[in-house]
Amino acid sequence: MTAGWRAAVALLLGLASAGTAQELKEPLTASAAFVDDTGQSLAEITPGVPFRIRLQFQAAMGSVPSDLRPMAWLRQPGQGDLTCAETAAAYRASGSAALGSVDLNGPVLAVLARDGALSVLDPQRSLGSANLLAAHLFQEGAPADMVADPQSGRFLLSLPARGEVVAMTPYGQMQPVARGLDRPGALLAAASGGAWLIEEGSGDLLRLGAGTTARWPLGARALVGDAAAGPARRVAVLAGDKVVVLQDDGTTLLNHPAPGALAVGLGPDAVMWLRPGRLHLLWLDTPEREVQIALPGNFDRLAVSPQGRMIYLFAHDRSGFAVLDLALGRVVQGAETASPVAEVAFLPDTAMLRLQDQSVVGVMDLRLVRPDAEAAMGQVALGPPQPVWDGGLQRLLVPLLPEPAMLAIHADSFTGFVLDARNALSNRPPMEAMRLRGGIPRMASVLDRSLRPQGPGQFIAAASLPRPGPWQLVVSAGLGQAAFCALLPVAPGEQPPALPQGRITAQTQPDGTLRLRLLRDDGQPVADLTGWVDMAALIGNWRQRQPFQTDSSGLTRQGWKLDGMRPLVVTVSADTAVEFPPLMLEEPR
């Protein structure tokens, strides 16, 4: 390896053979560089710390194909591994990397439950619990908001009870991003990395970057970006009785009075805000001219389509919605709904509306929205109507980028339904359903971990290593059997000493309750131990977490009624020098 840990390896396309009279040049070569978030080359990669992978493809003749779509993943090499080309071919055939590897393709889904439990799932894996990459319970209090930061390959969460914003990798490693905050609240991912944050205690707007925090004392109360899906390049803030638009670097683009504003929206070309019965609009290239558009009723929510032309208007306390066409300057469509609209999310040419009672998602083709025509909306039934939860922000419509699909979550059935633009043409059922892990979902966020094009033949991806040891980058170019591998410069890490293994046994009491006995590896009881016991059903989403204490014989003083809950997994966490492997409990035969 040369300085900066660059690896140049030929992509072998099988054009040369042993009988070739002269050596042929490889059609494609590639180099890999491992850098930090500032672009500096890394001499060593520390497990748990995010880094970036840069790939550069070069063609021996002509240019690199414009439709090149490489796939990559990280594996820990070992004896008996397939060759680089065989590993790449196996991935292409199966669509997923081996368990334990770090996949750099497709989306990762984080689901935050109402009780503060966070689960990270790989939608491409569906065998039992194999799609669960990480889980964490925020015992100090549930996060206020969560966003995905594709630049660092992490999820960002605001924790008002702790006064912190933390970042978590898809594999569960967590690091603080900002501390000592006054009730951090709404988050919005930024296109260049990091996020915007409203500090609800002070009303300040914060820009969280790579090791830096900028602050604006605006009295902020609402925050939106200019991207209908994905990180924002510009943001609009309702700050007191004014609206402020800022560039990604914090430069103020616009500061305009907005007395009585109820909601704010930002598109590629305009910023807008709602007042009772009116939409106020400023085109960003002519901010001195405010436009007012009369509305057929009062709305307090709005959503801007990706192109910035169609504005969806709705209200939290009444049913129905309206669609305003900015090109025409008026409302062109509207419809009644059985329940108030909870949120609106977009795919490139499609709008999806989720109702508060979770019963239906409406799907509309934006290309078919025409003046004064009846709204053409496919209705996808998700489940029976449910009581409206009023415990705070919910975000249950999530674009599955880069796939042209939307995940619509029915919280009370712990299920996400995959929808796409075809659902706008009929009331066809969802394409597929995904069982979610953890408690009742409150919000979800999707992190695209794929290689992102940066220029001709150039790609970049964010990653982090879940554990120490040697790691290898595997890349499949997608052209024949073209593939290459490169070792990562992983910092040597000390492996923690292995704890002695204990054992959990279950004992059913005469009254039908179940108690646990904790034993050391030599069979001696673990007496007078306090900790937490977690029980999670393998069928459905039931789980329970309770404190426990053992007596002198290692038997828990607490008992549990578990009729109908099995099979389930029991795990024990306690401050002790004994490690207890999980216990599987099945129905007695």
Partnered with residue 407 across adjacent β-strands are: 398, 418
Residue 579, pLDDT score: 84
What mean pLDDT, rounded, does the chain reach?
87
Residue 343 is assigned to a structural domain of this protein = no
Residue 382 is assigned to a structural domain of this protein = no
Q: What is the DSSP letter of 91?
A: H
pLDDT in tens, 428-471: 778 788 888 778 999 999 999 889 999 899 999 999 998 888 99
**Does residue 550 sit in the same domain as residue 471?**
no
Average pLDDT over residues 544-554: 89
**Does residue 473 sit in the same domain as residue 513?**
no
Whose tokens are 């208007």? That residue is 313
**Does residue 68 sit in the same domain as residue 97?**
yes
Write the DSSP string, 192-231.
Answer: TSSEEEEETTTTEEEEE-SS-EEEE---EEEEEES-SSS-
pLDDT in tens, 296-334: 999 999 999 999 999 999 999 999 999 999 999 999 999
Average pLDDT over residues 571-584: 84
Backbone angles phi, psi at 422, to 5 degrees: -65, -20
Query: Among candidates 404, 464, 407, 457, which has minimal Cα distance to 154?
Result: 464
Number of domains in the chain: 2
Q: Containing domain of residue 558, as a range?
A: 503-585
pLDDT in tens, 225-242: 998 778 999 999 999 999
**Does residue 525 sit in the same domain as residue 574?**
yes
* Sheet of 117-121, strands arranged across: 132-137, 117-121, 107-113, 441-448
User: In which band, very low, low, confident or very high, does the pLDDT at 496 lie, cut at 50, 70 and 90?
Assistant: low
Residue 588, pLDDT score: 63
- Which carries the bigger pLDDT value, residue 442 or residue 584? 442
pLDDT in tens, 377-436: 889 999 889 999 888 889 999 998 778 899 999 999 889 999 988 877 776 778 788 888
pLDDT in tens, 191-211: 999 999 999 999 999 999 877
Residue 18, pLDDT score: 38
Residue 17, pLDDT score: 34
Q: What is the pTM of this model?
A: 0.81
Q: Is the pLDDT of residue 495 over 90?
A: no
Residue 13, pLDDT score: 38
| Other CB atoms within 10 Å distance of the CB of residue 506 | 14
pLDDT in tens, 59-106: 877 788 888 889 899 998 877 778 888 888 888 777 777 767 888 988
CATH, residue 463:
2.60.40
Residue 467 is assigned to a structural domain of this protein = yes
**Does residue 482 sit in the same domain as residue 522?**
no
**Does residue 18 sit in the same domain as residue 87?**
yes
How many degrees, rounded to 5, is the angle at CA 354 between CA 348 and CA 357? Answer: 175
Q: How far is CA 521 from the centre of its chain?
A: 40
**Does residue 99 sit in the same domain as residue 36?**
yes
Q: Residue 280: how many CA atoms within 13 Å on its side-chain side?
A: 20
Residue 468 is assigned to a structural domain of this protein = yes
Residue 160, pLDDT score: 97
Residue 494, pLDDT score: 62
Contacts of 494 (CB under 8 A, 6+ apart): 468
User: In which band, very low, low, confident or very high, does the pLDDT at 542 lie, cut at 50, 70 and 90?
Assistant: confident
Average pLDDT over residues 25-47: 86
Residue 62 is assigned to a structural domain of this protein = yes
**Does residue 93 sit in the same domain as residue 15?**
yes
User: In which band, very low, low, confident or very high, does the pLDDT at 9 lie, cut at 50, 70 and 90?
Assistant: very low
Q: Evaluate the omega torsion of the peptide bond into residue 567 and state whether it is cis, within 30 degrees of 0.
A: yes
**Does residue 517 sit in the same domain as residue 464?**
no
Residue 363, pLDDT score: 93
418, burial (CB in 10 Å: exposed 0-12, middle 13-18, buried 19+): middle
**Does residue 12 sit in the same domain as residue 99?**
yes
**Does residue 95 sit in the same domain as residue 28?**
yes
Contact 71, 86 (CB under 8 A): no
**Does residue 508 sit in the same domain as residue 564?**
yes
Give the β-pairing of 71-75 and 415-419: unpaired
Q: Is the pLDDT of residue 23 over 90?
A: no
pLDDT in tens, 111-137: 999 999 999 988 776 544 447 788 888
Residue 77, pLDDT score: 85
Residue 420, pLDDT score: 87
3-state secondary structure of 413: helix
Residue 498, pLDDT score: 65
Residue 354 is assigned to a structural domain of this protein = no
Residue 5, pLDDT score: 42
Residue 532 is assigned to a structural domain of this protein = yes
Residue 54 is assigned to a structural domain of this protein = yes
